[in-house]
Homo-oligomer: A and B are copies of this chain.
Amino acid sequence: MPRANDIRMKGFRDRSSVEEALEAALDGISPLPSEPVPVTGAAGRVLTGDVVSTVDVPAFRRSMMDGYAVRAEDTYGATAYNPIPLRLVGTSMPGTVPDSRVAPGHCVTIVTGAPVPDGADAVLMVENTSGSGDQIEATAPVPIGRNVGRIGEDVAAGDGVLGSGRFLLPQDVGLLSAIGCNPVDVVRRPVVRFIVSGDELLPPGSSPSGTKIVDSNSPMLAALIERDGGVPEVVRLPDEEGAMEGALSRPRADVIITAGAASVGSEDRVPILVDRLGSLTIHGITMRPSAPTGIGTIGGVRVVILPGNPVSCLAAYDFFAGPVVRSLGGRSPDWPYLTVRRTLARRIVSQIGRTDYARVAVDGDLVDPVAISGSSVLSSVTGASGFVVVPAALEGYPEGTEVTVHCYHGDCDT
């Protein structure tokens, strides 16, 4: 029968600071190689190179107005009292090649976006014309170039359009489409394998039953990994010695994340396996929650060992795994949470030498620590607006301190 001593974590002799752990997590991590994607699927991806336009947009002189393409000099001196007749000889429509050249004394009906025909050098607004049929009259002059967009006005061939590392916004994709940039070379999305094991865990979608609990970490982590641009792959293992070893020794992913099951030795088993199959750099962090976090590498693949407790799992993901996923995908390792400054309605108690992840509820200009009697309780994060980090150098924050709140959603207003 196992003694309790045998099943306790052994790797905690030298806990690391949060800073050391983050450094270890990001050590050697750089964006993954490029892959081509269709321009229609490029939003939210990250460019791997500078995009230089190879074309002029527009590639033709474009009318900026509905009106008449004219030779400007034909209109000089025109007024309502001295209308100058022009003969209407054709129409220029968008996407077509104008069917008529504009000769002296001639004009062509043109709409916004249509090519200005050869011979014409200005577009006369309808308001400055009168007449009917094929005969119109200019009632005001128009200067050369007026209402004519030049070739390459939007983007000229050779223009740098968007830089390497750019996170592509909807309008960026519009611009890339306009210049015919397709496919678009972007950073490959990191495949993040999340290994779940634990005989006490039922798969998501089950109902809890007896002493079995339902896995809450895998759907939570899958959503976090997608938020961070990764491709989550959940692998559910039987709680057997060989299964985890098999999964870890063939890390067919860009990152491996485990979340400790609570079975005999499992908190230890994964770190020990990582150390044996590769290297375990960090095990145990001076942080609450999330102390039992580990960081290692197997076959060049970063492994992040998260605690099984869902709140610890969330915090440790955000502190150590999220930055790895985002960095591999070419994004900033920084937290994707917005911050707001609020005044503490009640003090937050921490301990020198330990970084605290304190869940808080924002209420107007104030912020209140959420009661965390059970730090394992996921409702402490679903009921919170966000979190405050208490650095290791502080014993906490007294009531009335203005603190930075990292908002779980938006700017903490929901």
Chain A positions near chain B (C-beta within 8 angstroms): 1-5, 7-8, 38-40, 42-44, 55, 57-60, 64, 66-68, 88, 90-91, 93-97, 109-115, 126, 129, 132, 134, 136, 149, 153-155, 161-162, 167, 169-180, 182, 198-201, 204-224, 226-227, 261-264, 308, 310, 314, 332, 338, 374, 376-379, 381-382, 408-409, 411, 414
As for how many copies of this chain the complex holds, the number is 2
17 example contacts (A-B, Cβ-Cβ < 8 A) are as follows A1-B90, A1-B91, A3-B109, A3-B132, A7-B109, A40-B218, A44-B223, A59-B208, A93-B264, A95-B200, A96-B211, A97-B210, A162-B382, A167-B409, A177-B216, A178-B310, A180-B206
Q: Bound state CA distance, A308 and B96, in angstroms?
A: 17
Q: When the two chains form their complex, are residues A215 and B177 in contact, meaning their CB atoms are under 8 A apart?
A: yes
Closest-by-CB residue of B relative to A204 is B177
Question: Given known contacts A154-B379, A208-B55, A264-B111, is B7 in contact with A66 (CB within 8 Å)?
Answer: yes
Within the complex, the shortest CB–CB distance from A59 to chain B, in Å, comes to: 6
Question: Given known contacts A90-B1, A205-B177, is B213 in contact with A377 (CB within 8 Å)?
Answer: no
Closest-by-CB residue of B relative to A113 is B262
Q: When the two chains form their complex, are residues A178 and B213 in contact, meaning their CB atoms are under 8 A apart?
A: yes
Q: Bound state CA distance, A291 and B197, in angstroms?
A: 58
Question: Given known contacts A382-B161, A382-B171, is B90 in contact with A411 (CB within 8 Å)?
Answer: no
**Hey, which chain B residues are within 8 Å of A95, CB to CB?**
198-201, 211-213, 263
**Hey, which chain B residues are within 8 Å of A111, CB to CB?**
4, 7, 262-264
